[in-house]
Structure 1
Amino acid sequence: MFRLDADPALLLETEERRQLRVVLRDLLADTCGAEEVREQSESPRGHSRALWERLAGEIGVHGLALPEEYGGAGYGFTELAVALEETGRVLCPVPLLPTVVLAAQALLSSGDRSACERWLPGIAAGALTATVAGIPHPARVTAEHGRDGWVLRGEADFVLDGEGADLLLVVARAPDGERLFACVPDAATCDRTARRVLDPTRRQALVRLRGAAAHPVGEAGQVPAIVDAVLDAGRVALAAEHVGGCAHALDATLEYVSHRTQFGRVIGSFQAVKHRMADLLVEIEGARSASAYANAALASRTSQLPVAASAAAVVCTGAYRLAVTEYVQLHGGIGFTWEHPAHLYLRRARADEALFGTGDDHRLRLAGLLGLAH
């Protein structure tokens, strides 16, 4: 029997989280309309540096889930999930996922206090962007001893924010096995090429390392555990983003069908449209529940995290796919034009479907975790 072992209080929307949601929604409404998102994602860095700094300085988003000893606020992932929902609602292109979730989780999971003290305060303050190379796409990178320490050679593809991140955490093969290394990319030893991807609001890059200086993070033999922790954190974070994206699609579609007339009637009054909107609402409420439990499981570090993360990935990805489909179709002809905001959400939903494993991958994983596989 599957038993809830996360703190039930983490499933509730506290007054602090409500206030955080309101403040974030107001800020993002002013800075991340559809046109602003297009402009930011097409800029050289791919996001607004001013907005990145405001999120860190005015609201403290970057440090929400980081320990106070490393410059964070000492809250948990449930607070960070509020920020991820709200940024997912508007497709805010700032690199919270690679920096605040993946890279920060990799550092914390390593247990390397020196590395955490060196890099996490910069992440918390918004002064540093970071990413992980080799997760989820395996890297072909080797680490060797150079004259002045470790150097990395090889390449990692489809690295989230790989073109512009200030810090790369790289999974590489060392003489004593796979290890995690921290690398500050330098143009002389690191080539970074942007990949053309479906979702322009979430940049990815090919990173080639040619003798790049690096520092080991953690000990040999830790990589499998770090990879698992980072992937599950990424899945939970992505689920929160998808809940936000679903909420936008539902609100925008409801607004449209409530005012658009056809044959002398508001189209939202047609029974077929009502059924579709009702089905969508049911799917989204299920996604909210799955995401909320996954957030609580990650915040509590329960043994059920792998199950909760994969379940949220399946449910939230499916809900987002349905939400963007209805967003496009129920807007009629205008919804099928690339200029309409619905297509930004369609691209995000489709691109995210395989980011940390496909739905089928997660169903197979769940079958194994629950003892259902033969």
Structure 2
Amino acid sequence: MPRLNLHLSTLSAGFVAVLVGFASSVAIVFQAAQAAGASEAMTISWIMALGIGMGLTCIGFSWYYKAPVITAWSTPGAALLATSLIGVPIQQAIGAFLFSSVLILAVGLTGTFDKLIRRIPLSLASAMLAGILVQFGLAVFTSLQVQPALVGSMLIAFILGKRWLPRYAILLVLATGFLMAWQGQLIRFEHLELHLSRPVWVWPEFNLGVVLGVGLPLFIVTMTSQNIPGIATLRASGYERVPVSPLISGTGLASLLLAPLGGFALNLAAITAAICTGPEAHPDADKRYQAGIWAGIFYLLTGIGAATVVTLFSAFPQALIFSLAGLALFGTIANSLSVATMQADEREAAIITFLVTASGLSFLGVGAAFWGLLSGMLCLLIFRRAP
């Protein structure tokens, strides 16, 4: 393990990324586990496997490439599983997870995904990222209507922090939000109990119908709705030197090893990654990799104490989580929009990419990020071929 110099800004960015990642979508993972008929012990094992997988990959990738590489579980994949696994035996569900993981690993090893990504212009990748993140920025002000004192104080702390303590602005926002929520009795720790996680191994069974009906869609959703935006986040933040294929292969291998414990799909993160790749994490882009390592450490802790962590995250008010994420992403949203509109001959295609992505359009089970990028690429192709 490399020596990790303590920079509070990178530590807070890593913590916020984990807090937002878990609190915003852990309920969907619960629904997916319940749909597969998982017991309470199995459900905790799912969270443990995902937490440990994300922790090890975040630490390994970030340290090796000296870039803030953040991984996550496939949230669209979990949503897909929540509806597709009803009535499916847990053993066959695990078989589908293994099939999806093998496909992801194969795509990474062959370099197919890397070749595809390199054909996407930076302006469109940035526009897609901005479209993904804009809803989080808007959530700050919609949450302001629900909890004006809490969110208003966090917003003021952000503005003052950016003016006088820019490196610690998000840490100041986090501390302010916690104190205001505590004072307003919005944090509930009554049901908090300390428990260590225990793995539950499930031997897989392979059913052709389940493999094709669950495993294949899980692979497609994970690649299109998660890995493409994840790579776009790294590129838009200036980390184009990080190779794509090893990242895809690594997440595929981790998913393959953890699938029998419930690790259904690991992939590159976009939203939580943007928290660690932006200037709020550290003014020096070469030191932001430390935020990725801190995120990995916090993910490991959440995996080890999955049962406790789930109740801990559920104790925080949603307004605090949404506002914290939105404020942490302000800089990345601004930078992405700037890069997206920089090239005059690509501006219209970038705007279409941004609007389609921001619309939340979903078609054939594939999310808006993929359709936004596809729309922008088609428009760019038409514009360049026009006489």
TM-score (norm 2): 0.25
Between Structure 1 and Structure 2, the one with more helix by share is: 2
TM-score (norm 1): 0.26
Q: Which has the higher contact order (CA 8 A, sep 6+)?
A: 2
Between Structure 1 and Structure 2, the one with more strand by share is: 1
